[in-house]
Structure 1
C-alpha cells in the first residue's frame, strides 16, 4: 500500500493557510520531484530550479528586475516558517504556495547536507540579451566560459553588490540555475538581469553598439586598472561611462580571441607578493572601480551623468 503523502496533523498557522497539512513522507513523488531539480536534465524538463536557505528564498519571493516573482512554491519546516514570517508573508502576497513539511522531508528535497529549513521551487530567471540591454545598464559583467558554479555565483553576487544591471554568461558557461551556483549568489540571482548561453562576439557587438566600453580583465593586460581609475578621476577614460567587463575562467583566463574582442585588456595591479587574484576577487575589484567612477560622475552632474547603456 502506498504511504500517504500527508499526515493528519496540522501545521502551526501559516499566514493565509491555517489548515495546511504538514508533508511527512520523504519518499513521496512530490518530494522526489523537488529533489530531482538538483540535476540539469530535470531542471530543463520541468522549467524549474531550486533555491535553498532563508536568504535565497527571501529574495525569490520578491519581485525581480522584471517585476515578476520567481518562486512558485516554498517548502519549509514548521519551525522555519514561524521563524521567517516575513518570507511567508511576501510569498503569500505574491501568490506563491507555502507548504509546511518535516525536517526529514526538507532534508530529502535539499541539495545541501545541512539545509536551513526553507527551499523554493522557482521559475528560471534568465532573460534575452535584448531585454537586459533595453534597461540600459551602466555596468555589465560578462562571464566567458566560466564553468565553476561557485566562481560564477560569486561573480554574480559581486556584480549585484557593485550595482551592475546585468550579468551575461556565454555559451559554454555553467548553468546559472545549478544549486551550487544559486547558493553562491546569496540571493543576488534574483536582483539583476541574467543572460545565459550568449554568443560572446554578438554580446560584445551589442554592448558596444549601445555605447559601452568593453574591458577584458587579464593578469597580463597592458592597461593598469589604477591608471584607468586615475583617468576616471579626471572624468576621462573608459570607466567614465557605461562599462562591460569580460571575465574568463579561473585557470586559463580569457583566450587571445576573447581578449581581442575588448577595447582594452586591463590588469589588476598586484602591489604585494601574491602571485595572482582569484576570479571573484579580481572581478569585484574591477566592478567596484567602475561603480566608484560612476558614483563620482553622478555626484558631479546628476543621476544621468554616469551614463547608461544606450543613453545619449
Structure 2
C-alpha cells in the first residue's frame, strides 16, 4: 500500500500529524483549520468521491480490509498514513473504531438559486438527530439543508457519522440566524413542524404540499420558540394515532420531508402527462 512517505513507520498517538488532526474533534479547531474528520468506510468513501479528503489515517488491519478506499484516496491526491491501533484510536470518536479516519476540507456550499424542498434546523443541538435529519433530507431529494440558529455544527463527528455520507451529497450550510435564511426563499412556503399544528396528511390531501417548501424544524426537547414559529406561514403536525406521546425529531422530520417530496413528484408527473397529452 502506498503511504504518504514509503517506508514510514506507523504513526502513534504522539505523532505530530495525529496530534494536529485530533484538534479537529473540537469546533474551534475545525473552524480555525477549515477541516473536519470523517470516520468509517461509508463516510470516507463518500468524502473521497466528493474530492474532500486531504489526509487519510488507517490502522494496519484496514490496509487489508479497506485497501480499495486507501488506493482511491491516493488516486485522488490525498496523503495516507498507516497508524498503530493507539494512533487511530486517538483520532476516532467511536467506542469501536472502524479503521479509517479522513481529514476533509470544509465543503464549498452555496444556497441554490431555486429550491423546491429545503430543511432548516433551528436549535437542534443533538448531533445524532441532526445527522439523521440530514440523511432523511438527502433521501427525500431535498435541495439543501441549513443548520440555523443555535444548531449543532454539521461537521461535528457524530453528526457526520449519523448522516451516513449524506453530508457530501447536497449543499449543507451553517447560518447564524434562521430568520435571515428564510428570507432567501421568498418563492417558497415555510412550514413549521410543530405538535398540534395542522394535520400533515390533510394538507397533502388538499394539494398544499406540492408547492416549493421550506420545512422549519426545532429541537426535540423544546420544539420551536414562539417567535421562530411565527416566521412560518403555517404550523404542521404529524398526527399520532397510537398511544405514543410524541415522535422522535428525526422520524417526524423524515415524514414531513417525504410527504412534500411525494406531493411534488406527483405534481411533476401530472404536469408532464398533461403536457404530453396536449402536444
**Same fold per TM (> 0.5)?**
yes
Change (3 A) 1:89 1:268: same
Please report how far the alpha carbon of residue 278 of structure 1 lies from its aligned counterpart in structure 2 after TM superposition: 1.4
Q: Secondary structure at the match of 1:74?
A: strand
Pick from 11, 19, 29 the counterpart of residue 16 of structure 2.
29
1:154 aligns with 2:132: yes
Please report how far the alpha carbon of residue 289 of structure 1 lies from its aligned counterpart in structure 2 after TM superposition: 0.3
- The range that moved more, 290-299 or 53-62, is 290-299
Q: Secondary structure at the match of 1:206?
A: coil
Please report how far the alpha carbon of residue 17 of structure 1 lies from its aligned counterpart in structure 2 after TM superposition: 6.8
Counterpart of 1:262 in structure 2 is 232
Matched residues in 2 for 1:301 and 1:85: separation?
48
Calculate the TM-score normalised by the size of structure 2: 0.91
Please report how far the alpha carbon of residue 113 of structure 1 lies from its aligned counterpart in structure 2 after TM superposition: 2.0
**Unmatched 5+ residue regions in structure 1?**
1-12, 64-68, 306-312
Matched residues in 1 for 2:136 and 2:31: separation?
27
Query: For residues 207-232 of structure 1, what are the alpha-carbon distances to aligned partners after superposition, in whole Å with 9 as ceiling and x for unaligned?
Result: 1x2x21111000111x1101111123
Equivalences, count:
274
1:168 aligns with 2:146: yes
Matched residues in 2 for 1:110 and 1:190: separation?
20
Cα pair 2:11 2:81 within 8 Å, conserved: no
Q: Secondary structure at the match of 2:196?
A: coil
Q: Secondary structure at the match of 1:172?
A: coil
Please report how far the alpha carbon of residue 109 of structure 1 lies from its aligned counterpart in structure 2 after TM superposition: 1.7
Q: Secondary structure at the match of 1:189?
A: helix
Counterpart of 1:78 in structure 2 is 60
Q: Secondary structure at the match of 1:61?
A: helix
Calculate the TM-score normalised by the size of structure 1: 0.82
Change (3 A) 1:75 1:248: same
Pick from 172, 176, 192 the counterpart of residue 194 of structure 1.
172
Cα pair 1:144 1:247 within 8 Å, conserved: yes
Please report how far the alpha carbon of residue 20 of structure 1 lies from its aligned counterpart in structure 2 after TM superposition: 5.2
Pick from 114, 125, 128 the counterpart of residue 96 of structure 2.
114
Coordinate RMSD, CA, aligned:
2.0
Change (3 A) 1:126 1:71: same
Please report how far the alpha carbon of residue 38 of structure 1 lies from its aligned counterpart in structure 2 after TM superposition: 0.8
Counterpart of 1:299 in structure 2 is 269
Counterpart of 1:90 in structure 2 is 72
1:288 aligns with 2:258: yes
Cα pair 1:34 1:109 within 8 Å, conserved: yes
Cα pair 1:224 1:267 within 8 Å, conserved: yes
Matched residues in 2 for 1:81 and 1:167: separation?
35
Counterpart of 1:103 in structure 2 is 85
Matched residues in 2 for 1:163 and 1:145: separation?
23
1:133 aligns with 2:115: no
Counterpart of 1:218 in structure 2 is 194
Change (3 A) 1:298 1:83: farther
**Unmatched 5+ residue regions in structure 2?**
none
Cα pair 1:126 1:195 within 8 Å, conserved: no
